[in-house]
Each structure stands twice: as structure tokens, then as C-alpha cells.
Amino acid sequence: MKFLDNPPRFLFFTGKGGVGKTSIACASAIALARAGKKVLLVSTDPASNVGQVFGLTIGGTVTAVPAVTGLSALEIDPQQAADAYRERIVGPVRGLLPDAEIASITEQLSGSCTTEIASFNEFTALLTDTDGVTDGFDHVLFDTAPTGHTIRLLQLPGSWTEFLDDGKGDASCLGPLAGLDKQRSIYADAVTALADPDRTRLVLVTRAGRSPIAEIARTHTELADIGLTHQYVVVNGLLPAPDGRDALETAIHHREQALLDSLPGDLWTLPIDEVELKPTNMVGIDALNSLFTSTTAAEDQPPGSGPAGLDVSDAPLSRLVDELAADDHSLIMCMGKGGVGKTTIAAAIAVALAERGHQVHLTTTDPAAHLTETLDGNIDNLEVSRIDPAEATEQYRARVLKSKGAALDEQGRANLAEDLKSPCTEEVAVFQAFSRVIHESRRKFVVVDTAPTGHTLLLLDATGSYHREIARQMGENTNFTTPLMRLQNPDETKVVLVTPAETTPRLEAAGLQADLERAGIHPWAWVVNNSLAAAAPSSPLLRRRAGAEATELATITAEHTQRYAVVPILAEEPVGVAALRALAHGSRDDITAE
């Protein structure tokens, strides 16, 4: 592996959830330890399963891995770190401020940005050796790296506390930075270490899919722009060259190779390693030892293997559509992490409802406007629109800078401008655009692809952007309905969570469900997308992978939802009305045919 040639002391592994960062990091740690190095593996992944991978309990203290001489591991619990971080800020004012004010502050500190900054706070000491934890280790490997946005925030000078207290910030992730001035010199040393190629190497991990590749392209540019240029790419889970007997396997292989042949931006100029898909999950030392070797023939396994009592072939998307179609209008929001297939599922639902005679408006924030091009506006009863997140966000930033930035000095405007680069800003801007079409769901079906998180919805509510502001304007005795109230009403809104049957995306979907429920929004159904078990492959390798889905499918149906659909992985991209119709219908023959 190129990224393991003459490695520096620190290696950071980053990429979208579910691409295999933990597996790559663990296998790398073993390889370095086998080479006689003393290695510390640190995980800051919210869905960390490092302990499960090694078959032992790790936690927040450095723990030796008995099966691998020279290897130790440490798990930083992001939620625990965020809770402690939040309490350090909220604790001193609890009892001094009204409960409503405390609730507002707490909510501003409940987003992903707080978790990331709290985690960065934890491993800063590891980068700067301030507490001696890394003494004696030749290499320290981090499973999950901070984003460029977080690093930029930590680089900015000025008093964040004063900036926030004066009301200059907006709905964003600046809240977590209140009171951090004492840490600035330590953060500066950590950022310097990250940017030093003699000390740090960044490994961008991806799968051969459009969304995860787009994510590492964005990360590459974002980090390179702030001086973190020593980057490598690892493409994980690639199908090995097929023998041609399984049409599904052959089609997926060709699709992956086409994506690799057209890498965006200047990713192709970076050193690239390819890691083949393995027949089993990467759990245990033996499995990890095989990760960087070529795949051998897999043992055969019956197709469609799933958990006892769950027939994956009897959970088509059409079953959910039948329930939705019982009404003549509704707001249907397809939510989930990037790369899980929200756009495809939303389009399939919209097409199925339209072909049943219902009036449907499908709107999406997919930057690649392939839905409009594919549907071409020629389907009866179906209107398609696209909200451009970049355009909506730029307009929102301009409005805020013009209004709140007018009275600020140069440093204040710089702080505000960085504030408005947060992920929360895009969610707020897109939600404002969505709110203009939400009201249509009172008389037709509105199917929305991509939606704000529960944290953003609560943040909007807490800051008065929607619910409180409208309540104040309308008066106590006036009836009104805000977008948030409409989302909270199960008779008006159906939230569909989309995930593959893999551990990390499933945990992220469960976290999103909990986040939404805090906002009073209860998901209606789950869609398990790209299921090998439902596709019934004939290749031994894919059959083994299908069997590995059993545990995740059982967990989803037992712990998260009783209403679900299982959608097979496709031989070809689901482009066009016929493909989307087949996807919703759930016909295995239609879906997997070449």
C-alpha cells in the first residue's frame, strides 16, 4: 500500500460513514505493528467499532491488543466528550439564567459541530504530546479526522464569546467555540502538526460510488486550501475482476471501474491504493490480516440469506407506496446520510404515486440534476423541481452578511463569514427553500429528497427563525401552522429513513432518528437500500456478502422500526421511468436484468 510507505508519525483516516475507515485504520495499525513498530490506534468515530473489530473492550484508556505485539488502542467517545464539553459551558450558568435560555444554549451545543470540536479537544493533546499519552509510540493512527471547517474555526483569532454574546452569530456551529480562547495556543500547535508532512499524512478513504468520491474530492480541496496537502487516497471494497457468470457482479464491477476512470478534480494526481471487497465483515485479527491481500474464491452460500423470520424478498417498496397512496396528499421526506440512495428512493416513490393517478411534486437538492433530465417532465401528474443548495446558501449568506454584518468591524465580519460556512448554514438555507413548497402538501403529494437534521429544526425553533418568530408576530390567540409544526404532524408528514444494511450507516440512521424525535418528528418507515440479500446474486463472493447483512437487518426490524422495505442492489443505475417503476414494484427480474 502506497499510503503505508515510509509513513510519518501521525496518520489520519477520513471519509464518509460506511466506506470502511475503521477497517482500513485497524488493518494499517496491524501492518505497522507487524513491522516492529509501536502503534497507538485512536478512534473518534461516533459509531466506533474498534473494540468489536479486535474482540475486546477498549474505551477511554490506552489498551494493549494482546493478539498483536506493539499495538494499543484508545477510543474517544464523541458523545461523552460532547456531554462533558457542553456541561463545562452550561454548568456555570445553570440556575442563573431562565430555563428557556438554558434550553436554547444547550440546543446550540447539541449539533454535530459540538461533537466534532469536543473530539478535537480530546485528541489535541495526542497531537501535541501535552499529557504524555503518546510517549513511546512510533505511530499514532486516527480513525476519523477533523473537517477543514473545524480547523479554520480554530485558526481564527478574536473573542468568540463576545461575538456570540453580542448576537452577531446566526444559526450555526459557533456556539461550541464559546470560551475557547485559553486553548488557542494548544490548538495552533495541533494545526501546525496536521499541516506538517513530516509528521502527518491524511488518508482519504472512499468506496467506488459517486457520493463518497464527491465527499473525498471536497475534503481534499478543503484541507489542501488550508495547507494540509500531504494526502493519499484509498478506494475500499472494490469488486475484483468477475468471471462473467453473474450479471449483477459484472455490472457492478464495470460501474465501479468507470467511476475510477473519471475521478473528479485533481484526485487522480494523488497516490491511490485499491482494496478489494472481501467476502466477510472485517472483524477479528485474521480478517484484518487479509484486507490488503487479493480476494480468493469465497465459499458458497444460499442467496437471499437473511435473519430468521425475515423474508427480504417479501418487503418491496411498493408495500410502503400502497400505504402512502391510501391518502390523496402528504409530505414525504426521504432522509439519511449522503450516498445511501435517498434521491433514488424519493424518485421511485414519486413515480409510483404519480402512476397511480395522484398529483405529485418531487423536489431534490441533488447537485447532479439527473432526475430532471431523466424524467424530462413527461410523466403525467408529476412535477419535478430542484433546489440548488449552493445557490440557496449563497443567497442566505448574503442576506445575513448584509443585515448582521453591516455594523461589524473587519474582524467581526470575518468571524461572521466563517460562521456562515458551517454545515448548519446550508441546512437552514435549504430548509427555507423547502418551506416554500411544503405548503403544497395540503392538496397533493410532495416528495422531498434530503432534509435538515433534527438539530437544525430545533435550532431554527430555538432562535425564533420560524416557529417562535411567527408565534410572536401572529399573537397568542391566532391559529397558525409553521413548517416545523407540519413536520411534527404524522397525519401530514411521513419521514422515510434510508440506509444500507451496514453497521455504520445503520447507526447513523438510528442517530438521525433520535435527533428527529427530539424535535418531535417521528420517522414513519425505514428503507434498507442496495441489499445484496434481496438481489439474490449467484457469485460466491456476493452470496457471502449477502449473508453478512443478516445481523443488520435483524437489528433494524427489532430495534428501530416495524415498517420497512428492503430494496435490492441494482445491476445498473436506476435511471429512467422504467427503472424507477421496477424499483418501486420490487420485481427482482425487472431490477436485475441487464
Question: Each residue of 43-84: pLDDT tens digit?
Answer: 876 556 677 778 788 877 889 999 899 999 988 877 787 788
Instruction: Return the sign of the alpha-carbon dihedral for residues 393, 113, 15, 502.
Output: negative
What pairs with residue 386 in β-bridges?
A: 364
C-alpha 546/C-alpha 299 separation (Å) is 12
Choice among 14, 17, 21, 175 that is catalytic: 21
Q: Are residues 407 and 285 in the same domain?
A: no
Place 195 in a pLDDT band, splitting at 50, 70 and 90: confident
Cα dist. 453→37, 433, 489 in Å? 42, 15, 16
Q: What is the mean pLDDT of residues 25-50?
A: 86
**321: Cβ–Cβ under 8 A, 6 or more apart, which residues?**
349, 352, 353, 356, 584
Asked, for residue 210, whether it belongs to a domain, the answer is: yes
Q: Where are the alpha helices (H) located in 330-383, listed in sequence order? A: 342-355, 370-375
Choice among 14, 15, 16, 23 that is catalytic: 23
Asked, for residue 301, whether it belongs to a domain, the answer is: no
**Is position 45 annotated as part of the catalytic site?**
yes
Give the pLDDT confidence score for residue 559 in this predicted structure: 93
Q: Are residues 396 and 481 in the same domain?
A: yes
pLDDT tens-digit series, residues 389-415: 788 888 888 888 888 888 888 888 887
Average pLDDT, the chain: 79
Choice among 15, 20, 148, 175 that is catalytic: 20
- φ, ψ (nearest 5 deg) of residue 10: -110, 130
Give the pLDDT confidence score for residue 594 in this predicted structure: 30
Give the pLDDT confidence score for residue 233 in this predicted structure: 96
Give the pLDDT confidence score for residue 586 in this predicted structure: 63
Give the pLDDT confidence score for residue 311 in this predicted structure: 64
> Residue type at 388?
D
Asked, for residue 550, whether it belongs to a domain, the answer is: yes
Domain stops at, among 256, 289, 322: 289
**Is position 237 annotated as part of the catalytic site?**
no
Could you give the angle at which helices 112-128 and 148-155 cross, rounded to 10 degrees?
70
Cell of 31: 501492518
**Is position 421 annotated as part of the catalytic site?**
no
Asked, for residue 206, whether it belongs to a domain, the answer is: yes
Cell of 178: 464559546
* Residue 240 pLDDT exceeds 60: yes
Give the pLDDT confidence score for residue 295 in this predicted structure: 64
C-alpha 539/C-alpha 545 separation (Å) is 10
* Residue 204 pLDDT exceeds 90: yes
The pTM assigned to this predicted structure is: 0.75
Choice among 14, 16, 22, 363 that is catalytic: 22
Cell of 120: 478535537
**Is position 165 annotated as part of the catalytic site?**
no
Question: Burial level of 173, CB count in 10 A (0-12/13-18/19+)?
Answer: buried
C-alpha 113/C-alpha 120 separation (Å) is 10
Q: Are residues 251 and 146 in the same domain?
A: yes
Q: What is the mean pLDDT of residues 257-282?
A: 90
Q: Are residues 345 and 440 in the same domain?
A: yes
**Is position 227 annotated as part of the catalytic site?**
no
Answer with the residue of higher pLDDT: 524 or 48: 524
Domain range for 210: 2-289
Domain stops at, among 241, 258, 289: 289
Asked, for residue 179, whether it belongs to a domain, the answer is: yes
Asked, for residue 303, whether it belongs to a domain, the answer is: no
Could you give the angle at which helices 342-355 and 577-585 cross, rounded to 10 degrees?
90
C-alpha 544/C-alpha 21 separation (Å) is 21
Answer with the residue of higher pLDDT: 263 or 283: 263
Give the pLDDT confidence score for residue 548 in this predicted structure: 82
Cell of 312: 427480504
Give the pLDDT confidence score for residue 591 in this predicted structure: 41
C-alpha 348/C-alpha 587 separation (Å) is 13
Q: Are residues 485 and 424 in the same domain?
A: yes
Choice among 18, 111, 306, 405 that is catalytic: 18
Q: How far is CA 11 from the centre of its chain?
A: 22
Q: Are residues 262 and 322 in the same domain?
A: no
Place 476 in a pLDDT band, splitting at 50, 70 and 90: low
Cell of 515: 435527533
Give the pLDDT confidence score for residue 112 in this predicted structure: 62
Give the pLDDT confidence score for residue 444 in this predicted structure: 95
Number of domains comprising the chain = 2
**Is position 22 annotated as part of the catalytic site?**
yes
Domain stops at, among 289, 304, 322: 289
* Residue 8 pLDDT exceeds 90: yes
Place 556 in a pLDDT band, splitting at 50, 70 and 90: very high
Place 179 in a pLDDT band, splitting at 50, 70 and 90: very low
Q: Are residues 86 and 164 in the same domain?
A: yes
Place 40 in a pLDDT band, splitting at 50, 70 and 90: very high
The answer to whether the CB of 202 falls within 8 A of the CB of 230 is yes
C-alpha 53/C-alpha 488 separation (Å) is 39
Give the pLDDT confidence score for residue 264 in this predicted structure: 87
Give the pLDDT confidence score for residue 94 in this predicted structure: 85
Answer with the residue of higher pLDDT: 574 or 564: 564
Q: Are residues 136 and 275 in the same domain?
A: yes
Q: Are residues 277 and 325 in the same domain?
A: no
Beta strand segments in 28-136, E = 39-43, 63-64, 71-75
**Is position 504 annotated as part of the catalytic site?**
yes
Cell of 279: 467476502
Q: How far is CA 302 from the centre of its chain?
A: 32
C-alpha 369/C-alpha 363 separation (Å) is 11
DSSP class of 97: B
Domain of residue 122, CATH code: 3.40.50.300
Q: What is the mean pLDDT of residues 105-120?
A: 69
Give the pLDDT confidence score for residue 301 in this predicted structure: 47
Asked, for residue 300, whether it belongs to a domain, the answer is: no
Choice among 16, 28, 43, 45 that is catalytic: 45
> Residue type at 461?
D
Q: Are residues 488 and 548 in the same domain?
A: yes
Place 451 in a pLDDT band, splitting at 50, 70 and 90: low
Q: Are residues 264 and 391 in the same domain?
A: no
C-alpha 387/C-alpha 363 separation (Å) is 7
Place 464 in a pLDDT band, splitting at 50, 70 and 90: very low
> Residue type at 267?
L
Cell of 551: 445481523
Q: Are residues 259 and 348 in the same domain?
A: no
C-alpha 489/C-alpha 521 separation (Å) is 8
- Three-class SS state of 302: coil
Give the pLDDT confidence score for residue 158 in this predicted structure: 43
Choice among 504, 531, 539, 592 that is catalytic: 504
Asked, for residue 391, whether it belongs to a domain, the answer is: yes
C-alpha 586/C-alpha 50 separation (Å) is 36
